[in-house]
Amino acid sequence: MTPADLRLDEAAVRLGVVVEAPQHSGLLGVLDYLSATPLPPGTLVRVPLGRRVVTGVVWAVLPPSGEVPVRATEDLKAVIEVLDGLPALPSAWRQLVAFAAAYYQRGLGEMALMVLPPELRQLDAVQLQRRLKRLDKALATAPVAAPVATVAATAAGDSTGAPLPELSAQQALALSALAAGGARPFLLWGSTGSGKTEVYLRRAQEALDAGQQVLMMVPEINLTPQLEARVAERFAGRRIVSLHSGLTPAQRLRNWVMALQGHADLVLGTRLSVFTPLPRLGLIVVDEEHDPSYKQQDGARYSARDLAVYRAHLEKVPVMLGSATPSLESWHNALPVAEGGSGRYLRLDMPERIGGGDMPRVRLLDQNHVLKATMGQEPPPLSRPLLDAIAQRVERGEQSLVLLNRRGYAPVLHCSDCGWKSGCPHCSAWRVFHKADRTLRCHHCGFSERVPRACPDCGNQDIQPVGRGTERLEEQLAAALPGARVGRIDADVTKLKGALEAQLASVHAGEVDVLVGTQMVAKGHDFRRITLVAAVNPDAALFASDFRAAERQFALLLQAAGRAGRDADVAGHSEMWVQTWHATHPLYQALQRYDFASFATRQLQERQMAGLPPYASLAMLRAEGKTQEAAQGFLEAAASAVQDLVAQTPEAAGLMLYPAVPTPVQRVANVERAQLMIECGQRAVLQRFLSEAQAVWLAQAQQHRRSGLIRWAVDVDPLAI
């Protein structure tokens, strides 16, 4: 039966199908199509949309009777084909997508199709069947062997099971609480090196032994290769798949299909994996739950951590959020109501390192008391006491880590004669000097040029680097520590496939004495020989306008400190040096005591007084335009157009729209950006307001496109303001 014939068939079934459509199209919900037969919700189909044929997901069968009068189907198009090689997407998956679309103010079809593998969205029924046949053949020729180690086998003294590490008392207590706590959120708060990963693995083993699937999420899988290897080693014999952006489209589709069909036992993935359909889901783990990488920063700006908590609630399974420095929202949720928290999570404390090793001693090196450089000279990268401490480690055959969260050779080139600086012509930012390839590179738009031989403005040939990045720090340390083997790990030296693994292997093999790195090396790595960590330039975040800056900086520094002294044999003399001009700052004082609880208490008090999360809910209306006037003009018109909605909001909710302002980096790739913050004391009221305002803002956007508006979006629960 052709689609044309189907329109005239009185027995045709009308289906509600969601398809991917741009936000400005106004097609935010379910579209009606005709089908010769009823299809269960969750079925993947190919349908016409304008002049294209696109993939869609059946969301509903309308009406329940299944029959539609001919007059109601005259303008409807028919489903072209059904991708029936796959099972229908589960009801829980559809509920998760619907919640995410509503909460983050995106179209239902946009959200549903965005979270599917890109290759799946391009395949027709025949092509999909070929992929599935290849997968079935691969699964048939590689059957799963019996697990090499299980908790049950070890507990029973089974000699065939590989021995598991002995649990510490605090690990055993945490596992007991997990077993007794049922399906609820848990915050596993443990110091670096306390054995949180072993708790994840033991609890995952219990779920696998019960025939369930496990979703284990990490912020950036390419930064945590050791976790991936450890999971594969522990669960050898189980089918483990990864889901992250580093996979090829074919690999990602294959792993996703294995998860949907129930063949994959454990999924290890980054933020997008929270949407993986898992018919036997029994446990969700979110490692390093505080990491900002869990928040999508473009398109549908969702928080994978928050959606993991919602999904666990939806499917009635436990979710474990683990961190040495929890986000203040999670910390507040894990505080009892009597202590000012919400009491929604159960906190499990693991303050001690495995083996009884101490955390490194934190030494605050006050730069105000160190001899400053002479006038006109740049200060040395490290003060003499710190250089001497590193040299002593080199002599003893130990390793040191120097943290500088800025890649490149120098943030900017400067002409002392005329004042020229290496600005980006397309962004309101400086181009960074990269000495290795002699380029000036913008880290925002990617624009790159060769370093000029002389100042472009005045011809002065003596243009100098200003500031310091990891590339320059590596060079300066090599000169200051003759004979020391200095290495570097940052995004520039790990671009090629396998480069990060090779660099890490070199560090583990003892081929590096001093490792220079960005935040890439501050989390998730088990460096056994590092006994000294130094933070070179940590002060920038202390006085930033972003209210989360201190929280992030504390987390970064504590995570970095945790790289030292992980081997109990060297823990006693491990140190972290913080080179600062503000040694008395409360953040550093709390870090010196490893007192996250008091730091969090102080931060929460400040947030409560300022009316900031978690004591209020925020959303950011963002706009991009050909000019700053166009971007701000739309935002101001959008705010004016919803004043009636604001007036209808109860006074107790405290809904407030702030004036439109440029973003911190105002122009990127010749596009001007502006934002308008919306604040409300009650999350439900804010959500209702945003939902009602969408139609108004969509109409405003159509009017402002003629004046230079390019795109706009709502960012719910923004990470930065």
What integer pLDDT is reported at residue 446 of this predicted model? Answer: 94
Decide if 77 contacts 33 (C-beta within 8 A): yes
680 marked among binding-site residues: no
Between the CA of residue 297 and those of 223, 307, 715, what are the distances in Å?
19, 15, 9
Task: Please give the structure tokens belonging to residue 441.
Answer: 């590179």
352-361 tens-digit pLDDT: 988 777 889 9
* Sign (positive or negative) of CA dihedral 570, 526, 537, 605: negative
CATH architecture of 151-354: 3-Layer(aba) Sandwich (3.40)
Coil, strand or helix at 282? strand
**Gyration radius of the chain over CA positions:** 28
Instruction: Report the C-alpha dihedral over residues 135, 86, 257, 134, rounded to 10 degrees.
Output: 10
Task: Please give the structure tokens belonging to residue 22.
Answer: 């741009």
616-642 tens-digit pLDDT: 999 999 999 999 999 999 999 999 999
Q: How far is Cα 718 from Cα 545, in angstroms, rounded to an integer?
A: 14
| pLDDT tier, 146 (very low <50, low <70, confident <90, very high otherwise) | very low
CATH fold for the domain made of 3-138: GIY-YIG endonuclease (3.40.1440)
| Between 386 and 2, residue with greater pLDDT | 386
Evaluate if residue 3 carries a pLDDT over 90.
no
| pLDDT tier, 372 (very low <50, low <70, confident <90, very high otherwise) | low
427 marked among binding-site residues: yes
What integer pLDDT is reported at residue 160 of this predicted model? Answer: 37
Decide if 146 contacts 160 (C-beta within 8 A): no
Instruction: Output the average pLDDT for the chain.
Output: 89
What integer pLDDT is reported at residue 148 of this predicted model? Answer: 37
What residues pair up with 351 in beta bridges, in sequence order? none
Task: Please give the structure tokens belonging to residue 23.
Answer: 């936000």
| pLDDT tier, 653 (very low <50, low <70, confident <90, very high otherwise) | low
Which percentage of the chain shows pLDDT scores above 90?
72
Q: How far is Cα 557 from Cα 578, in angstroms, rounded to an integer?
A: 9
Mean pLDDT of 372-383: 63
Indicate left, alpha or beta for 712 from its phi (over 0: left) and psi (-120 to 50: alpha). Answer: beta
Which percentage of the chain shows pLDDT scores above 70?
89
User: What residues does each domain of the chain span?
Assistant: 3-138, 151-354, 357-408+469-607, 411-466, 617-716
- Look up residue 185 and give its amino acid: P
Task: Please give the structure tokens belonging to residue 250.
Answer: 């074919």
| pLDDT tier, 157 (very low <50, low <70, confident <90, very high otherwise) | very low
| pLDDT tier, 74 (very low <50, low <70, confident <90, very high otherwise) | low
Q: Which phi and psi (to 5°) does residue 32 adopt?
A: -95, 135
| pLDDT tier, 662 (very low <50, low <70, confident <90, very high otherwise) | very high
Evaluate if residue 11 carries a pLDDT over 70.
no
Task: Please choose, from the candidates 108, 109, 130, the residue with its C-alpha nearest in 3D space to the C-alpha of residue 119.
Answer: 130
552-585 tens-digit pLDDT: 999 999 999 988 876 655 656 899 999 999 999 9
User: Comparing 357-408+469-607 with 617-716, is the CATH topology the same?
Assistant: no
Q: How far is Cα 344 from Cα 336, in angstroms, rounded to an integer?
A: 8
What integer pLDDT is reported at residue 299 of this predicted model? Answer: 86
286-312 tens-digit pLDDT: 999 999 999 998 889 999 999 999 999
Query: C-alpha angle with apex 586: 580 to 592, nearest 5 degrees?
Result: 70
CATH 3.30.750.24 fits 357-408+469-607, yes or no: no
What integer pLDDT is reported at residue 377 of this predicted model? Answer: 57
- Look up residue 423 and give its amino acid: G
Task: Please choose, from the candidates 542, 97, 452, the residue with its C-alpha nearest in 3D space to the C-alpha of residue 276.
Answer: 97
Coil, strand or helix at 569? coil
**CATH assignment, 617-716:** 3.30.70.100
| pLDDT tier, 220 (very low <50, low <70, confident <90, very high otherwise) | confident
445 marked among binding-site residues: yes
- Look up residue 716 and give its amino acid: V
Decide if 144 contacts 258 (C-beta within 8 A): no
Q: How far is Cα 326 from Cα 333, in angstroms, rounded to an integer?
A: 11
455 marked among binding-site residues: yes
242-278 tens-digit pLDDT: 998 888 999 999 999 999 999 999 999 999 999 999 9
What integer pLDDT is reported at residue 192 of this predicted model? Answer: 87
424 marked among binding-site residues: yes
Q: How far is Cα 31 from Cα 393, in angstroms, rounded to an integer?
A: 66
